[in-house]
Amino acid sequence: MRLIIENITMKYKDKVAVEDFNTELNEGVYGFLGPNGAGKTTLMRVLADLLRPTRGRVLLDDRDISTMGDKYRNILGYLPQSFGFYKSFTAHKFLMYIAALKGLDKSISPDKVEEVLDIVNLKEHSKRKIGKFSGGMKQRLGIAQALLNDPKILILDEPTAGLDPKERIRFRNLISEISKDRIVILSTHIVSDIEYIAKEVILIKDGKLLGVDSPENILENMKGKVWKGIASEEEFNSMKDDYKISNIVRKGKEIELRIISKDKPPIESIEEESRLEDMYLYYFDQEVEE
C-alpha cells in the first residue's frame, strides 16, 4: 500500500495553509510534527478526503482518493483534532451509531464495538453516558471510533490531547501494535508522541515540508549540536537571547544549561547526546511540550 501526497497546496482566500507538499507513505507510523498553525490539520483533512486541495492530489496505490468515494471511506479511520459527542449516548451506543455510519454489518457490530472498547480500556464504562466521561476518556472513545472498521489508513489529528501520561504511553503502545499492516498518520506538536514509534518523522512548518527522515537519522543529524554547560547568572543572561536553550537547572549559584547550537557555546560545555525534542527546538524555535 502506497499513499502519495503530490504537490498539495491549500489556500483559504489569501492564506496559504499548505504549500506544494510532497511525500510518500507506506505501511508504518508517520509522525507529522510541527507547531500549532503549521498546516497539519488542513493536511490531515485533505488526507481524509474532507477537503479538496486547491492544487495537487493524494494517490492511494496510484488512484486519486477524491475519485474513490466509499472505497476510500471503507479503509479510512479518522480522528479529528476537535470533536464533540452526543452526551446522552452511552459509549456503546455511540460506537454502534458510528459502526452503522461506517456501514459495518449489524451482525458483527456489537463484537467490534466491544473489541475497540477493550483496546482503549473503556470496556467497563461502555454503559456510561458520554456526558459523564473525562476529557481523556472522550479522547479514547474518539480513537475507538476511528478503529471500528479496522482501517488500513488511520489518520489521527493530535490524538493525545487530553490524555494523561499513563494513557499516552498506552496509546503509543496501541499505535505500535496496530501499525503492522496499515498506514498510521499521526499529527502532533508533542515530540514524545512519536519519538519511539514513528517510522518516519515529517516536519512541517508554515505549511511547507521541512524534511522527512527516520528519528534515528534526525538524531544523527543533530550530533554536535547539543551541549551541556554550567553558566553563572551573568553568562546565562548574556546567552539567553542568542542561544536556543532547551533546559535550565539551577544548582546553587550556577545554572546547568542544555544548549542547541551548531557551534560550541561560549561557556565551559560538553557535547550531549541529542534527543528528538532538541531537534524540535532546532527547527521550530519554540518551547517543547512534553
Partner 1 sequence: MKKEKIDFDIYEDITENELDELWSMMDSYTVEYPDEEEIDNTINELRQYVPEKEKEEYFIDRFHYLLNKSMIEISFISKPFWIMSFILFIMGLITMYFNKYINPYLLAMVISPLPFTFGLIEIFKSRDKGMMEIEMSCKTSYGEVLLSKLTIIGFYNIVLNTIFSLIISSISNVDFLRLTLIWFAPFTFISGISLWLSMKIKSSYTMTIIVSIWIGMIGTLLNTPYELIERILWMNITIYIGISILGISMSFIQIRSFIRKNISHKGRGLFEVNY
List residues near partner 1 by CB under 8 A. Answer: 12-13, 15, 17, 42, 45, 48-52, 63-64, 66-67, 69-70, 73-74, 76, 78-80, 82-89, 93, 97-98, 100-103, 142, 145
Query: Least distance in Å: CB of 152 to partner 1?
Result: 14
Q: Which is nearer to partner 1, 31 or 39 (CB)?
A: 39
Q: Which is nearer to partner 1, 85 or 264 (CB)?
A: 85
Look up residue 43 and give its three cell numbers: 493536511
Query: Least distance in Å: CB of 290 to partner 1?
Result: 28
Q: Rounded distance, CA 208 to CA 141, Å?
A: 32
- Consecutive H or E run containing 155: strand 153-157
Query: Least distance in Å: CB of 93 to partner 1?
Result: 8
Q: Which is nearer to partner 1, 100 or 248 (CB)?
A: 100
129, 92, 131: which is closest to 112 by C-alpha? 92
Q: For 98-126, b where at least 16 C-beta lie within 10 A, e where not — what string?
A: bbeebebeeeebeebbeebbebbebeebb
Which are the contacts of 227, defined by CB distance < 8 A and separation ≥ 6? Answer: 257, 258, 259, 260, 261, 264, 265, 269, 270, 271, 272
Query: Least distance in Å: CB of 283 to partner 1?
Result: 24
Q: Which is nearer to partner 1, 154 or 260 (CB)?
A: 154
Query: Least distance in Å: CB of 11 to partner 1?
Result: 9
